[in-house]
Structure 1
Amino acid sequence: MGEYANAKGKRGRVRGRRSAIRTEKEPLVSTASSTTSQKVAVFDFGAQYGQLIARRVRDLHVYSEIVPCDITADEVREMAPAAIILSGGPASVNAEDAPRVDPAIYELGVPILGFCYGHQVTSVTLGGSVYHPEVGEYGPAELHVSGGALFKGTPADQTVWMSHFDAVKDVPSGFSVVASTDVCPVAAMECPERKIYTTQFHPEVKHTQFGNQMLKNFLFDICGLEPNWTMDNLVETLTADFREKVGSDRVILALSGGVDSSVVAALGARAVGKQMTCVFVNHGLLRKGEPEQVEDVFTKQFDVDFIHVHAEERYAKLLDGVTDPEQKRRIIGTQFWEEFFTVAQQLDGVKYLAQGTIYPDIIESGARKTGGKAATIKSHHNLIPFPEGVHFDLIEPLDHFFKDEVRALGTALGLPDHIVHRQPFPGPGLAIRIIGAVSPEKLEILKNADAIVREELDAYNQRLFEETGERNSEHSCWQYFAVLPDIKSVGVMGDERTYQRPIILRAVESSDAMTADWAKLPYDLLAKISSRIVAEVPGANRVCYDITPKPPATIEWE
Structure 2
Amino acid sequence: MCCNGFDAVLNALSTLDDKGPDKVLVVDFGGQYAHLIARRVRELNVYSLVANYSIVDEGFIDKIKPKAIILSGGPSSILCRKHPRIGDWILDLNIPVLGICYGHQLLAVMIGGRVETGRGEYGRTMIKIINKDPLFEGWSSEEYVWMSHRDYVAELPSNTKILAISENGYIAAFKISDKKIYGVQFHPEVYHTRKGMLLLKNFLFNIARVKPEWRMENIVDNIVENIRRKVKPYEKVLVAVSGGVDSTVTALLVKKAVGKRLVPVFVNHGLMREGEVEEVLENLRSLGINPIYIDASNRFLERLKGIRDCEEKRRIIGEEFARIFSDIVRRDKDIKWLAQGTTYPDVIESGSTPGSDRIKSHHNVAGLPDWLGLKVLEPLRELYKDEVRRLALHLGVPKDVAYRHPFPGPGLAVRIIGEVNEEKLRIVRRASRIVEDVLKKHNLYDRVWQAFAVVGDDKWVGVKGDKRQHGYIVIVRVVESVDGMTADWVRIPYEVLDEISKRITSEISEVVMVTYAITTKPPSTIEPC
Per-residue CA deviations over 1:64-86 (Å, capped at 9, x if unaligned) read 22111232333333334332212
Matched, 1:290 2:281: no
Matched, 1:63 2:47: yes
Contact kept in structure 1, 2:342 and 2:364, CA below 8 Å: yes
Residue aligning to 2:356: 373
Residues 186 and 456 (structure 1), Cα distance of their counterparts in 2 relative to 1, 3 Å cut: closer
Choose the corresponding residue for 1:408, options 386, 390, 394: 390
Residue aligning to 1:527: 498
Contact kept in structure 1, 2:109 and 2:115, CA below 8 Å: no
Residue aligning to 1:130: 113
Secondary structure in 1 matching 2:514: strand
Distance in 2 of aligned mates of 1:236 and 1:439: 45
Per-residue CA deviations over 1:117-172 (Å, capped at 9, x if unaligned) read 444555666xx42334697884646444444432334456666667443456336x
Amino acid at match of 2:393: T
Choose the corresponding residue for 1:316, options 298, 301, 304: 301
Contact kept in structure 2, 1:143 and 1:160, CA below 8 Å: no
Distance in 2 of aligned mates of 1:160 and 1:278: 43
Choose the corresponding residue for 1:330, options 302, 315, 328: 315
How much does 1:422 deviate?
A: 0.9
How much does 1:420 deviate?
A: 0.8
1:298-313 aligned within 5 A: 298-302=284-288, 304=289, 306-313=291-298
How much does 1:96 deviate?
A: 5.5
- Considering Cα pairs closer than 8 Å and 6+ residues apart, tell me whether 1 or 2 has the greater RCO: 1
Per-residue CA deviations over 1:173-198 (Å, capped at 9, x if unaligned) read xx663635496789422467x6x321
Residue aligning to 1:341: 326
Contact kept in structure 2, 1:178 and 1:188, CA below 8 Å: yes
Contact kept in structure 1, 2:32 and 2:485, CA below 8 Å: no
Distance in 2 of aligned mates of 1:79 and 1:527: 57
Per-residue CA deviations over 1:312-365 (Å, capped at 9, x if unaligned) read 121122122333333222221111111111112222322221111222222322
Residue aligning to 1:169: 156
Distance in 2 of aligned mates of 1:340 and 1:60: 40
Distance in 1 of aligned mates of 2:294 and 2:373: 20
Contact kept in structure 2, 1:274 and 1:305, CA below 8 Å: no
Residue aligning to 1:505: 476
How much does 1:396 deviate?
A: 1.5
Residue aligning to 2:415: 433
Secondary structure in 2 matching 1:448: helix
How much does 1:520 deviate?
A: 1.9
Contact kept in structure 2, 1:338 and 1:387, CA below 8 Å: no
Number of matched residues?
514
Choose the corresponding residue for 1:486, options 457, 460, 468: 457
Choose the corresponding residue for 1:446, options 422, 428, 431: 428
How much does 1:102 deviate?
A: 4.7
Contact kept in structure 2, 1:145 and 1:151, CA below 8 Å: no
Residue aligning to 1:424: 406
1:87-106 aligned within 5 A: 87-90=72-75, 97-102=82-87
Secondary structure in 1 matching 2:371: coil
Amino acid at match of 2:333: D
Paired-residue identity, %: 41
Amino acid at match of 2:498: A
Amino acid at match of 1:321: G
How much does 1:490 deviate?
A: 4.8
How much does 1:261 deviate?
A: 1.1
Contact kept in structure 2, 1:147 and 1:178, CA below 8 Å: no
Q: Greater shift after overlay, 289-298 or 138-147?
A: 138-147
Contact kept in structure 1, 2:314 and 2:367, CA below 8 Å: no
Distance in 2 of aligned mates of 1:84 and 1:543: 48
Per-residue CA deviations over 1:445-495 (Å, capped at 9, x if unaligned) read 3323322222222333xx359xxxxx5xxxx32211122332555545445
Amino acid at match of 1:319: L
Distance in 2 of aligned mates of 1:135 and 1:557: 27
Residue aligning to 1:6: none
How much does 1:103 deviate?
A: 5.5
Distance in 1 of aligned mates of 2:482 and 2:463: 40
How much does 1:509 deviate?
A: 1.8
Residues 277 and 134 (structure 1), Cα distance of their counterparts in 2 relative to 1, 3 Å cut: closer
Matched, 1:263 2:249: yes
Distance in 2 of aligned mates of 1:81 and 1:58: 14
Residues 186 and 160 (structure 1), Cα distance of their counterparts in 2 relative to 1, 3 Å cut: closer
Residues 45 and 499 (structure 1), Cα distance of their counterparts in 2 relative to 1, 3 Å cut: closer
Distance in 2 of aligned mates of 1:451 and 1:33: 51
Query: What TM-score, normalized by structure 1, do the two folds share?
Result: 0.80
Distance in 1 of aligned mates of 2:420 and 2:172: 55
Distance in 1 of aligned mates of 2:423 and 2:118: 55
Residues 521 and 33 (structure 1), Cα distance of their counterparts in 2 relative to 1, 3 Å cut: farther
Contact kept in structure 2, 1:161 and 1:201, CA below 8 Å: no
Secondary structure in 2 matching 1:281: strand
Contact kept in structure 1, 2:108 and 2:114, CA below 8 Å: no
Secondary structure in 1 matching 2:217: helix
Choose the corresponding residue for 2:98, options 102, 106, 113: 113
Contact kept in structure 2, 1:36 and 1:80, CA below 8 Å: no
Residues 292 and 132 (structure 1), Cα distance of their counterparts in 2 relative to 1, 3 Å cut: closer
Per-residue CA deviations over 1:249-296 (Å, capped at 9, x if unaligned) read 321112111122112122222332222211111111111111112222
Provide the aligned C-alpha RMSD in A. 3.6
Distance in 1 of aligned mates of 2:394 and 2:268: 28
Distance in 2 of aligned mates of 1:35 and 1:458: 51
Secondary structure in 2 matching 1:274: helix
Secondary structure in 2 matching 1:170: coil
Contact kept in structure 1, 2:161 and 2:177, CA below 8 Å: no
Amino acid at match of 1:129: G
Contact kept in structure 2, 1:319 and 1:438, CA below 8 Å: yes
Amino acid at match of 2:45: H
Distance in 2 of aligned mates of 1:186 and 1:446: 42
